[in-house]
Structure 1
Amino acid sequence: MQSHNRGLLAVDKQGNRVLFLDPDTFAVQQELNAFPPRPHELLMLPEQAKAYVPIYGDGIHGDNPHPGHKVAVIDLRERLIRGFIDLSPLQSPHSGQLGRDGKVYLCCENSAAVAVIDPVSDTVEKIIKLPSHNAHRLTLSPSGRKLFTENEEDASITVVDLCEAEGRIIDNILLPGPISGIAASPKHPYLVASAADAPLLYVVDRQSHRIRQRIKLAGHQQPCQVVRFSANGERLVAIGDQEPVITLFDDLLNPLGDIQVGNKPMDGCFSADNRTLLIANEGDGTLSVIDLQKMQVVATPTAGTGCEVLSYFHIK
């Protein structure tokens, strides 16, 4: 089988499949479709030449009658499904991140817990229980010392000290209302959480755990959900929820402008050179290809039935 070291992986949630796309033309090169319902998020692990795709279940947040309990392991080099990690009894695995310690930290929403996975052996090493009703998304400080979970309707962010072996809860930050997204700046000592009840971002100090700023999303009529930094921390994107608009910020959170995208944008990814931002439009099965210098959409290729999340990859 042909090997590849550069590509673009997209999770087609509506099509219940994972797509390998050409990173230049966005044409579908290969399709993987042997998934339980439904693949829902994506975590790249280039050192292991693999990706994790959580199997969330057949519903959505707040209405997931058959929650999943597995994570699909995708071989990026051979472009196939290597197997599944069974997280039972944990349910509804969602967003995850690779820590500085080489472990994967993965939110399990319905279980209000974080699974800690060894990506070399693909085994669960421990479980960190959270003082919340659910755990939607997480982010880690660049040092890897702290983990922050976004707890949606609980209107809180749980702070976990990862310097202690079992992971100790050290704070539960209360916010004015529910939140739906979270991301730590790779460059500055703050994290950003998106309000779930208004077009607003909360900026939280990573050290004091206090809200230091509220940013209104003037170009949005609805709350946004996903907030995502570029790898170097120079750009932040806030992606509209059920609204075809995104807002870009610089590293100091100065707004750079709003850009209209496709129907039901869900998530996005920055290219390695930070010249391009891709937005997955789940509602119409397209991608919005954004030139970050021109601050405009330069192409709208079709990709699957309705992709939720995608990421470039490069493996040695």
Structure 2
Amino acid sequence: MQRHNRGLLAVDKQGNRVLFLNPETFAVEQELNAFPPRPHELLMLPQLEKAYVPIYGDGIHGDNPHPGHKVAIIDLRLRQISGFIDLSPLKAPHSGQLGRDGKVYLCCENSAVVAVIDPVSDRLEKTIQLPSHNAHRLTLSPSGRKLFTENEEDASITVVDLCEAEGRIIDNILMPGAISGIAASPKHPYLVASAADAPLLYVVDRQSHRIRQRLTLPGHQQPCQVVRFSANGERLVAIGDQEPVVTLFDDLLNPLGDIRVGNKPMDGCFSEDNRSLLIANEGDGSLSLIDLQQMKVIATPQAGTGCEVLSYFQLNPSG
């Protein structure tokens, strides 16, 4: 049987399923739908030929009456659900990232902890207690030494030192207002957090933990939510929240322009060659393919009912 080494995985939150899309045509090649409500977020682990899809619950941040407690394990080679990690009694797993130590760090929002998972055995190893029940997303410094959680309405960023075995909280950065997204630059010593109460980004120094800059988003009428860097750190995208616009910046945070996209953009991913950016528009079931040289949308394929997040992946050829 032919196996695909390159692919595109999308979490269709509105359709309560996960889709394998053709990375060139965006046609659905495989659909996985045996999920509890409801899959949110996506963590790719291509070196292990798997991906994690947290089962956050049937709501959204601030209104999640039935929080989930599992993480679905997707086999990228066989393109099937290989199992679930049961994090009980932890609730509402959401944003996660792979650390330099090979462990997965995952926010469990309602339990105010970061879960530490061994992705080889798919087992929960330990938890790191947080001072907030609003930790929705996290990011790690490129060195893997520090972990930062954005604590939404608590208007703070918690800093965890991962060099200590149990993970020690070393700071709680107080922000001027609520925040809703966070991403560490892979190239420079800062992270970016999106304001939840204005179209504004905060640039925070990863060493001093101080705000060093504020970036306004004049092309946005509303606050944005997700901020995401390309893997090489050359581009940053700020994605509108309930607003069909994204803004791109270069690695020095100079604005490159605003681009109109589909209804209710949620997240996006840069291509492996960093020539394009793919935005998932949850509100209308479309994708917006952006050519980063032309700075414009060049295709708007339909994919699923309403995808929230997606990512390209590359596997080693099977022997």
Are 1:42 and 1:310, in contact at CA under 8 Å, matched by a contact in 2? yes
Matches within 5 A, 1:17-56: 17-56=17-56
Which residue type is aligned with residue 220 of structure 1? H
Aligned pairs for 1:144-293 within 5 A: 144-293=144-293
Contact 1:247 1:258 in 2 (8 A): yes
Opposite residue 17 of structure 1, the aligned amino acid is R
Residues 265-299 of structure 1: CA distance to partner in whole angstroms, max 9, x if unpaired? 00000001000100000000000000000000000
Separation of aligned partners in 2, 1:244 and 1:22: 24
Secondary structure at 2:47 match in 1: helix
For 2:59, give the aligned amino acid. Answer: G
1:130 aligned partner = 130
Helix, strand or coil at the partner of 2:110: helix
What is residue 77 of structure 1 aligned with on the other side?
77
For residues 69 and 29 of structure 1, what CA distance do their matches in structure 2 show? 28
* CA distance in 2: counterparts of 1:133 and 1:63, whole angstroms: 13
Q: What TM-score does the superposition give when structure 1 sets the normalisation length?
A: 0.99
Is contact 1:4–1:78 with CA below 8 Å preserved after alignment? no
Mapped partners of 1:243, 1:256: distance in 2 = 19
- In structure 1, the partner of 2:110 is 110
How many angstroms does 1:92 deviate by?
Answer: 0.5
- Percentage identity across aligned positions? 89
Partner secondary structure for residue 62 of structure 1: coil
Quick one: which amino acid aligns to residue 77 of structure 1? R
Q: Is the 8 A contact 1:6 1:314 kept in 2?
A: yes
Tell me the secondary structure at the aligned position of residue 91 of structure 1.
coil
Q: Alpha carbon RMSD of aligned pairs, Å? A: 0.6
Question: Which residue of 1 is the match for residue 312 of structure 2?
Answer: 312
1:111: Cα distance to partner?
A: 1.1
**What number of residue pairs does the alignment pair up?**
316
What is the letter of the counterpart of residue 296 of structure 1?
K
Report the CA distance between 1:264 and its aligned residue: 0.1
Residue 2 of structure 1, CA deviation: 3.9
Q: Distance in 2 between matches of 1:171 and 1:238?
A: 26
For 1:38 and 1:4, the matched residues in 2 are separated by 27
2:91 matched to 1:101?
no
Structure 2, unmatched stretches of 5+, are none
CA contact (8 A) 1:152 1:178 kept: yes
How far apart, in 1, do the equivalents of 2:5 and 2:270 lie?
A: 18
Counterpart in the other structure of 1:16 = 16
1:62 partnered with 2:74: no
Determine the structure 2 residue equivalent to 1:120: 120
- Indicate the SS of the match to 1:135: coil
Indicate the larger mover: 106-115 or 179-188: 106-115
Amino acid across the alignment from 1:272? E
Deviation (angstroms), 1:226: 0.1
Which amino acid in 2 is paired with 1:194?
S
Q: Counterparts of 2:227 and 2:314 in 1: how far apart (Å)?
A: 23
Quote the Cα distance in structure 1 between the aligned partners of 2:238 and 2:96. 18
Structure 1: unaligned runs, 5 residues or longer: none
- Give the counterpart letter for 2:135 in structure 1: A
Q: CA deviation at 1:3?
A: 2.3
CA–CA separation in structure 1 for the residues paired with 2:14 and 2:109:
20
Separation (CA, whole Å) in 1 of partners of 2:109 and 2:280? 22
Cα separation, 2, equivalents of 1:204 and 1:244:
26
Q: Measure the CA separation in 2 of the matches of 1:154 and 1:2.
A: 50
